[in-house]
Amino acid sequence: MNLTLKIWRQKNSKEAGNFHTYQVPDISPDMSFLEMFDVLNERLIEKGEEPIAFDHDCREGICGMCSMYINGQPHGPWKGTTTCQLHMRAFKDGDTITVEPWRAKAFPVIKDLVVDRSAFDKIQAAGGFISVNTGNAQDANNIPVPKDDADKAFAAAACIGCGACVAACKNSSAMLYVSAKVSQFALLPQGRVERTERVLNMVREMDVQGFGNCTNTGSCEAECPKEISLENIATMNREYLMANLKK
């Protein structure tokens, strides 16, 4: 396949960026999207040009590090798929593909397609945990959990923290991300002890970090590579309301 790529280049967080156009011939449909980037970068280095910086690590769709906004969609055209698992057979010979970084006030660009997502870690540090020290735990089977609740908690916990939900949202809201963690713990008996503090602290930190509000457009769910459900946002809103009533 022969492709034209329009890629956002930005030297660092201080300088302005712009699009560069690259011709990328001889691409196999069996390559992953990031392998196509590897090939392009090798060619750029051989020509004495600067390769394109992008985040990636596991290339198995689980670490959440890859983060490209491809033709107007976070992680590109395949549903429920991260950029690293997107394969070139999703495109046609002769296609022009536009690639940008995540765009959000809370995710400043570091270089090219690399953004700073440390705001997500700060939200977790504010309340995304169960306060149990090592060594205090009782036998695991002393806490039975209905299978349905356990399955739902798992489905919420499958979030990979990539930030596609924020990138997809016109308000740059982090509601899907935050609600997934709040729901996971709200569904489990172990998590209920701290439910009030947790939701209040995480929502407060989410606002502090500069994420926008949720206006229920649902684009986060549509673009989430792990198909995290909007129901989590409803759960979080309920938790938040109950917490405020208790306060």
- Alpha carbons 214 and 237: distance in angstroms, whole number: 11
Range 57-76, binding other proteins (CB under 8 A) = 57-65
Tell me: does residue 160 bind other proteins (CB under 8 A). yes
* Residue 49: Cβ within 10 Å count: 12
Q: Does 191 bind other proteins (CB under 8 A)?
A: yes
Quote the least distance from Cβ 216 to other proteins, whole Å: 27
To other proteins, the closest distance from the beta carbon of 215 in angstroms equals 27
Tell whether residue 116 is a contact of other proteins (CB under 8 A): yes
Asked whether position 208 contacts other proteins by CB under 8 A, the answer is: no
Can residue 97 be called a binding residue for other proteins (CB under 8 A)? Answer: no
State yes or no: residue 1 binds other proteins (CB under 8 A): no
The crossing angle, in degrees rounded to 10, of helices 231-246 and 175-186 is 70
Give the nearer residue to other proteins in terms of CB position, either 2 or 131.
131
184 binds other proteins (CB under 8 A): yes
- Find the part of the chain contacting other proteins (CB under 8 A) among 146-154, 167-175, 216-224, 238-246: 146-154
Residue 20 touching other proteins (CB under 8 A): no
Binding to other proteins by residue 136, rule CB under 8 A? yes
Q: Which stretch binds other proteins (CB under 8 A): 46-54, 97-105, 166-174, 207-215?
A: 46-54
Q: Which parts of 23-42 interact with other proteins (CB under 8 A)?
A: 28, 30-32, 34-35, 38-39, 42
